[in-house]
Amino acid sequence: MQRDQSKLGLGINPVVSAGATIFRQLKKSRKSSLAGSSTGGAVLLFFLIVLLLGAFISARWINDSDIRSITATATETQILIVTPTTTLQQAPPPQPLPPKPKPKQKPKPKPKPLIIPFSCPTGNQNLTDICPSTPLPPPLSDDASLPPSPSCPGYFRWIHEDLRPWKSTGITQEMVERARRTANFRLVILDGRAYVEYYRPSFQTRDVFTLWGILQLLRRYPGRIPDLELMFDTVDWPVILARDYRCRNASAPPPLFRYCANDLTLDIVFPDWSFWGWPEINIKPWEALQRELKEGNERVRWMDREPYAYWKGNPVVAPTRQDLLKCNVSEAYDWNARLYAQDWFKETTGGFKESDLASQCIHRYKIYIEGTTWSVSEKYILACDSLTLLVNPRFYDFFTRGLMPVQHYWPVQSDNKCRSIKFAVDWGNSHKQKAHAIGKEASSFIQEKLKMEYVYDYMFHLLSEYAKLLRYKPTRPPNAVELCSEYMACPAEGLEKKFMMDSMVKSPHDSAPCTLPPPFSPVELKISARRKTNAIKQVEFWEQRAWESQKSRPMQ
Ligand SMILES: *[C@@H]1O[C@H](CO)[C@@H](O)[C@H](O)[C@H]1NC(C)=O
Ligand SMILES: *[C@@H]1O[C@H](CO)[C@@H](O)[C@H](O)[C@H]1NC(C)=O
Ligand SMILES: *[C@@H]1O[C@H](CO)[C@@H](O)[C@H](O)[C@H]1NC(C)=O
């Protein structure tokens, strides 16, 4: 059963995981480069140039001496591996095109922000009627009168990839209906009002806070969210298998929204509930938590942190986590890891005080490992300047595809965890500046590119692009209830109510959403995939070398 599955599967662990792979993009880019084979020559030429350049430029970024020593000792086959890596690390990451400069306007005096009214019914006013009788905020004026908006972060470009399966066919009502099979709810937006038809309960308050987030989006951009209809599945595992829709005759896949996907699936990823709060385990809305993490991060200087790799989480949810526990320090051997199993029951009853995320930035290295699928904890782990040792993830969520190995995190082999972790910590402790720099790059990514503002803009663009694909006009489903902030927040109690009030959008946003960058070109997708795999191979190679040279010495 869905409900039980999600209980087991449970990205529930606050100290857990999320990841990104690139196979699907490889597959896609292969397809699209076949489609446009006339560009093949140019592509080849480009790669040759990049390759040649790479032979001359070393990856200063990672470490001069490492590269030098590798090249010095490398056999020819090793050089074959190393060269493209260093090259591609030098190649700039695909950047969105800068927005066209708009003619300068004289800054107008800013009008006072409109406060959207919010009040709960008094006496015995019937909640069922509260949404229809609540007026919508006036629609925002069009873009022309708003200040020009800068480009969104690069990971927004994956929106185009996620919707690519329907690019030529569009999305019909029949396709949406097929997605109902596993959906927890159907969401319809008509003229800025939200209607929901529930099919099955979600685990904890996943659906509640996901829908709350969508209502806040409607408050932030009144009049700008197009009419649409979608199916949402709140369970951990992606279910739309790409292989079922690959053959020529196959029907188009059903569009299904959820929190994560992987290379083998076509589920459309959407920001998870935790951005508005997770009351069951006392994780507050992201805006406040992000600020606390920033302060927590400043409490202990990186150099003064414990020089070990730290992980705390629930090992029961996945075999790979139990495997990780074997790397814990013991009397026999120190793999440089300090691992702790979370006492789930004790913490649930104790209000998760021991899991205070903002006070967890006291180790130089923090391990991220997936549970059953992605985990909401990835953003918390990356937010410490500590170097994140990321055990090879199999899943991605909406932002993790913007992360690069060695630039934002240190890759750890999932079938060789202990050795990988030991090497990473040894490397970091002897290259402190570099390890700290990677950690810092990750925390600035989280602080700057994953601001709540961008979470809303991601939703805005994803839903807008999705709505453009609809080939029919959605209508209000007969069994749907209308949702509005009052309908959800007024009867809520305790932390649920507090998190809703804290994360409520109080006024429409006074500028346009960021500008959606264009789709990746097939070449860009290939380069970015190559860059990723080569950086990982590079680290594996260093690791292997270190392991061998250590084996030849007696163990201390
Ligand atoms: C609220 O109104 C609806 C119809 O308008 C009715 O079915 C429902 O029983 C009412 N609930 C209460 C608590 O009065
Ligand atoms: C594809 O569709 C045609 C006509 O609908 C059918 O005759 C054929 O068997 C199908 N082929 C496959 C591989 O399903
Ligand atoms: C790992 O080792 C530390 C130090 O010995 C210990 O406190 C901790 O409980 C161990 N973790 C697990 C999961 O056994």
**Domains of the chain, earliest start first:** 127-278+453-526 (no CATH), 286-446+528-550 (3.40.50)
- Binding-site residues, ligand 2, Cβ < 6 A: 247, 249
In short, whether 18's Cβ falls inside 6 Å of ligand 3 is no
Tell me how far the alpha carbon of residue 149 lies from the centroid of ligand 1, in angstroms.
45
Residue nearest ligand 2's atom 4 by CA = 249
Model pLDDT, residue 134 = 87
The stretches in the chain having pLDDT less than 50 are 1-93, 354, 556
Report the distance separating Cα 164 and Cα 467, nearest Å: 13
Tell me how far the alpha carbon of residue 7 lies from the centroid of ligand 3, in angstroms.
26
Model pLDDT, residue 415 = 93
Which residues, 6+ apart, have CB-to-CB distance to 487 below 8 Å?
A: 127, 130, 131, 481
Tell me how far the alpha carbon of residue 445 lies from the centroid of ligand 3, in angstroms.
31
Q: Which of 127, 128, 482 to mutate to test the pocket of ligand 1 (most atoms within 8 A of CB)?
A: 128
In short, whether 340's Cβ falls inside 6 Å of ligand 3 is yes
Model pLDDT, residue 39 = 41
Residue nearest ligand 2's atom 6 by CA = 249
Residue nearest ligand 1's atom 4 by CA = 128
Structure tokens, 357: 């995320």
Report the distance separating Cα 305 and Cα 485, nearest Å: 43
Model pLDDT, residue 98 = 57
Cα–Cα distances in angstroms (integers) from residue 177 to residues 185, 204, 231, 315, 496, in the given order? 12, 25, 8, 37, 31
Cα–Cα distances in angstroms (integers) from residue 297 to residues 191, 239, 362, 381, in the given order? 43, 37, 8, 11
Element (H, E) at 170: none
Ligand at shortest distance from the CA of 249 = 2
In short, whether 128's Cβ falls inside 6 Å of ligand 1 is yes
3-state DSSP of 61-95 = CCCHHHHHHHHHHCCHHHHHHHHHHHHHHHCCCCC
Q: Contact 90/53 with Cβ under 8 angstroms?
A: yes
Q: Contact 459/270 with Cβ under 8 angstroms?
A: yes
Tell me the three state secondary structure of residue 38. Answer: helix
**Polymer length of the chain:** 556
Q: Contact 236/372 with Cβ under 8 angstroms?
A: yes
Q: Contact 245/265 with Cβ under 8 angstroms?
A: no
Residue nearest ligand 3's atom 7 by CA = 340
Model pLDDT, residue 110 = 64
Ligand at shortest distance from the CA of 125 = 1
How many separate helices (H) and strands (E) can be counted in the chain? 18, 11
Query: Tokens 């699209």 map to which residue?
Result: 32
- Parallel/antiparallel/unpaired status of strands 306-313 and 337-341: parallel
Tell me how far the alpha carbon of residue 343 lies from the centroid of ligand 3, in angstroms.
13
Max intra-chain CA distance, the chain: 81
Ligand at shortest distance from the CA of 482 = 1
Ligand at shortest distance from the CA of 121 = 1
Model pLDDT, residue 392 = 95
Tell me how far the alpha carbon of residue 410 lies from the centroid of ligand 3, in angstroms.
23
Report the distance separating Cα 373 and Cα 393, nearest Å: 9
Tell me how far the alpha carbon of residue 485 lies from the centroid of ligand 1, in angstroms.
19
- Angle between helical axes of 452-469 and 286-299 (0-180°, round to 10): 140
Cα–Cα distances in angstroms (integers) from residue 518 to residues 66, 159, 521, 524, in the given order? 37, 10, 9, 12
Report the distance separating Cα 12 and Cα 191, nearest Å: 35
Model pLDDT, residue 34 = 36
Task: Please name the amino acid found at residue 373.
Answer: T
pLDDT of 52-95, one tens digit each? 343 333 333 333 333 333 333 333 333 333 333 333 344 444 55
Report the distance separating Cα 393 and Cα 505, nearest Å: 33
- Parallel/antiparallel/unpaired status of strands 185-190 and 193-198: antiparallel
Model pLDDT, residue 106 = 62
Model pLDDT, residue 550 = 81
pTM of structure? 0.80
Model pLDDT, residue 102 = 57
Structure tokens, 147: 């200040």
Tell me how far the alpha carbon of residue 326 lies from the centroid of ligand 3, in angstroms.
10
Tell me how far the alpha carbon of residue 126 lies from the centroid of ligand 1, in angstroms.
6
Ligand at shortest distance from the CA of 315 = 3
Report the distance separating Cα 409 and Cα 352, nearest Å: 27
Tell me the three state secondary structure of residue 434. Answer: helix
